[in-house]
Amino acid sequence: MLQQADKTPLWSLYNQVLRHARYTDLTHAFMPGQPHFPAFPDEARETLFTVAEHGFEVIRYSHVGQWGTHVDAPSHFIAGGRSVDEIPVTEMLLPLVVLDISARAAADPDTTPTLADVEGWEARHGRIPEGAFVALRTDWSKRWPDPVAVANKDAADVAHYPGWSREVLELLIEGRKVRAVGHEVTDTDRGLSTSKGDYGLESYVFSQNRWQVELMANLDRVPEAGALLWASWPKPLKGSGFPARLVAIHP
């Protein structure tokens, strides 16, 4: 007689492959005082009930939606764009592509990815799959949770951290039809741009009806190709962003 798992393809897949895979958390634990967009207020916490006094613990958390490792929906920048609750669950399990520019970022914090970086990835692994999630690895997450190190400002108050480039985002979104992008820094645009109030690349991503994740972690622990990204978050009605939990599933 067949075992139940043998008659259920997804259970069989879990038992044969996913059960024995590695699960790498790509999420920072958020807290007061952590790195964040400078215009946002810090997180506040209040303990309302304690185990000692009430038999259970309840804490009130107060923070903006774009807090810690978080998802941004198109409505973050685009009036009438999809909100967090409108991103379907079918977009939360995707092939994970890691575009690694960490060595260059270590030498030049103002660096951005180039078309040659994408061409090199595809020469090694084949064409980037349609519907993938592409994460930009810079190893900037290793500076967490030091806000000064993450912002990396000079004496003139100009931030120096890596970001995306327009040419690469256009290739990924319009050419390869990826579903979403993510990065380890606080912004889509590099620090030299955000210091001037320029968020053009972030606006572009959302104008294409894509979502993104900011302040990712541990991209150095996952392969460039072959992994899956499992992304999840709460479902605030009409929310433009919210803390997320991301997990890479890989051999």
pLDDT for residue 15 is more than 60: yes
pTM: 0.95
What confidence tens digit (pLDDT) does each residue in 51-61 have? 999 999 999 99
Residue 9 lies in a domain: no
The model's confidence at residue 2, banded by pLDDT at 50, 70 and 90, is very low
Number of H helices and E strands in the chain, helices first, is 9, 11
The pLDDT assigned to 4 comes to 57
Contacts of 199 (CB under 8 A, 6+ apart): 77, 187, 188, 189, 193
- In terms of residue numbers, what domain contains 177? 27-35+65-250
**CB-based contact 169:204 (threshold 8 Å):** yes
Looking up tokens 């039809």 gives 177
The model's confidence at residue 8, banded by pLDDT at 50, 70 and 90, is confident
Task: Give the total number of structural domains in the chain.
Answer: 1
Give CA–CA dist 161/108, Å, rounded: 9
Task: State how beta strands 241-243 and 133-137 pair.
Answer: unpaired
What confidence tens digit (pLDDT) does each residue in 105-134 have? 999 999 999 999 999 999 999 999 999 999
What confidence tens digit (pLDDT) does each residue in 126-182 have? 999 999 999 999 999 999 999 999 999 999 999 999 999 999 999 999 999 999 999
Looking up tokens 């500076």 gives 143
User: At 237, which CATH number?
Assistant: 3.50.30.50
Residue 134 lies in a domain: yes
pLDDT for residue 37 is more than 60: yes
Half-sphere exposure of 53 (CA within 13 A, CB side): 6
CA-CA distances (angstroms) from residue 93 to 9, 116, 228, 242? 17, 27, 7, 18
Residue 17 lies in a domain: no
Give CA–CA dist 238/25, Å, rounded: 27
What confidence tens digit (pLDDT) does each residue in 73-95 have? 999 999 999 999 999 999 999 99
Residue 12 lies in a domain: no
**CB-based contact 251:22 (threshold 8 Å):** yes
